[in-house]
Amino acid sequence: MAFNPFDLTGKVALITGGNGGIGLGMAEGLAAAGANVAIWGQNPEKNAKAEATLKGYGVEVLVQTVDVNDEAAVVAAVAEVLAKFGRLDFVAANAGVGGGAPFHEMTTDKWRRVTTVNLDAVFWTFREAAKHMIERAGRGDPGGSLLVTSSTSAIHGAPKNQAYAATKGAVLSMVRGLAVEYARYGIRANSVLPGWIRSDMTAAAQKWDKFNDQVIGRVPMRRWGEPEDFSGLAVYLASDASKFHTGDAFVIDGGYTIY
């Protein structure tokens, strides 16, 4: 039999914030590799467009409208994925929000909004997925892969963006703990730190000439990152090719943070 470690046929993947940007880039890679895919998003138009795109790969697709600010909604949504597909092999906690402001003017409400979406929702999502993966391991079917979308803001100074940076640093520590705690069940946990990527979150900066000259001009690869730049990583981490790879942080930024 030919060696084909990136064949995801029979696997089920969940991507939060999967109806656009990095999340959809991951979802497309996973679907192209044969995985059935569930995505979460709140924009009906983007959800419908993403669903049509993913179904074009010939896999089963579940699109869910989920408010990740709501713990009960997250718990119910993971249960729905399991009810439809019967298993969950790969979870990318990708949903996130910004919320920049001068630190001395940051309100507690704005701080809490960012930390709830970017940190609490990751906790809820991974907790529910881990319950299933541990139970499945107990039935003789070990394995599973957790991936969180962090940011290069976690490793370099992010002025006026400390709430965002704090959450993105926190999930790095969370993932390292999960990698050690759940290794006995064959569950892996990793993170990805995107740099400047084309998405709705960076839409304003993409149109700003000064930003493109002074910031994107400093990216060694001399371009914005694209959602599809994350497809291969998602496939690798969902596949058996990465079954001994855990606790890592993948920086995908075109060389920006090392320049």
Is residue 259 part of the annotated active site? The answer reads: no
Q: Which of 214, 213, 167 is closest to 193 using CA atoms?
A: 167
Domains in the chain, number: 1
> Would you say residue 68 lies in a domain?
yes
Which 3 state secondary structure label does DSSP give 174?
helix
**Domain around 250:** 12-199+226-258
What are the pLDDT tens digits along the chain (259 aa)?
567 889 999 999 999 999 999 999 999 999 999 999 999 999 999 999 999 999 999 999 999 999 999 999 999 999 999 999 999 999 999 999 988 889 999 999 999 999 999 999 999 999 999 999 999 999 999 999 999 999 999 998 888 899 999 999 999 999 999 999 999 999 999 999 999 898 888 878 888 888 888 888 899 999 999 999 999 999 999 999 999 999 999 999 999 999 8
**Which of 57, 164, 185, 256 does the annotation list as catalytic?**
164
> Would you say residue 220 lies in a domain?
no
Strand order in the sheet with 187-194: 61-64, 36-40, 12-16, 90-93, 144-149, 187-194, 249-252
> Would you say residue 162 lies in a domain?
yes
> Would you say residue 189 lies in a domain?
yes
Both tokens of 26, joined, read: 């991951």
Please report, for the domain that includes residue 119, its CATH number.
3.40.50.720
In the chain, what is the straight-line distance between the N-terminal and C-terminal CA atoms, in Å?
Answer: 44
